[in-house]
Structure 1
């Protein structure tokens, strides 16, 4: 069935009104800011928006305006905005996790080195004590424990 010029004008007005609502973020329940919802909201068959059909130029206009909003940092669909926000948050959290894992790895290496140094120092102290015990004329100093106990009495 062919549409008259009046019907076509009426359809275009409904499409433009629906387009404006969708781009302002006034989405119907279960709808998105897309051609499918635009067709449903304007009561026009969705296939009329594709190819060389009668409302293809309005689809292109809708897509241009939607892209311009995205370029300006505005996202009319709250779900898309939430998805974009969550993706950015996930990216930031991944960076934080990588930084924390690197720091943990460095601290683990530091701990291993510190323990190895302490063990080597302990072995050196034991070696020096053994060699001091065999040398005559070396007076042993009291240990900190004996000094503290002696000073308390």
Structure 2
């Protein structure tokens, strides 16, 4: 079916309006800043944007404008910016997590070494006390009993 010039002009107007909205960042839910969403928003079949179809020049114009925006550092789709920012944040968090894992490993090794040294020192003290008790002529005194009154 052939399109009349008037019908084609109306379609191009709808496509350009949808193109302007998408490039301005007005992305519909479930959509993206791409030809598929452009076709859906303008109510035109997506295949009309490819090959020798009637609106292929508008797809080219849309892609050119989108590339120009991206080259200038603008992103019409805020989700892409958010995804990029979140990926960077995940990288930073992964580095922090790796650093904490390393710290935990080092502290666990330090704790194990400290407990091992304390155990060895306790064993040495016990051995020395036993050796002292076996050979000692020292008399052990009873502990002093605390009095509550004046000394007599």
Q: TM-score of the superposition, structure 1-length normalised?
A: 0.69
User: How far 1:138 moved relative to its partner?
Assistant: 8.1
Q: Residues 73 and 91 of structure 1: is their aligned pair in 2 closer, same or farther, counting only changes over 3 Å?
A: farther
User: How far 1:29 moved relative to its partner?
Assistant: 4.6
Q: Which runs of 5+ in 1 are unaligned?
A: 141-145
Runs of 4+ in 1 over 6 A off after TM superposition: 137-140
CA distance in 2, matches of 1:73, 1:116: 59
User: How far 1:131 moved relative to its partner?
Assistant: 3.2
CA distance in 2, matches of 1:21, 1:11: 15
Q: TM-score of the superposition, structure 2-length normalised?
A: 0.69
Larger helix share, 1 or 2: 1
Whether 2:130 is the aligned partner of 1:130: answer yes
| Aligned residue pair count | 146
Task: Spell out, residue by residue over 1:91-110, the C-alpha distance to the aligned partner (whole angstroms, 9 max, x if none).
Answer: 33333222222221221111
Q: Which residue of 1 aligns with 2:26?
A: 26
CA distance in 2, matches of 1:115, 1:127: 18
User: How far 1:72 moved relative to its partner?
Assistant: 4.5
Q: Residues 139 and 124 of structure 1: is their aligned pair in 2 closer, same or farther, counting only changes over 3 Å?
A: farther
Task: Spell out, residue by residue over 1:21-55, the C-alpha distance to the aligned partner (whole angstroms, 9 max, x if none).
Answer: 10111234543322122113333321111223232
Query: What root-mean-square deviation, in Å, do the aligned CA atoms of Structure 1 and Structure 2 show?
Result: 3.5
Q: Which runs of 5+ in 2 are unaligned?
A: 147-152
Q: Residues 67 and 112 of structure 1: is their aligned pair in 2 closer, same or farther, counting only changes over 3 Å?
A: farther
> Mean alpha-carbon deviation: is it higher for 99-108 or for 121-130?
121-130
Whether 2:108 is the aligned partner of 1:77: answer no
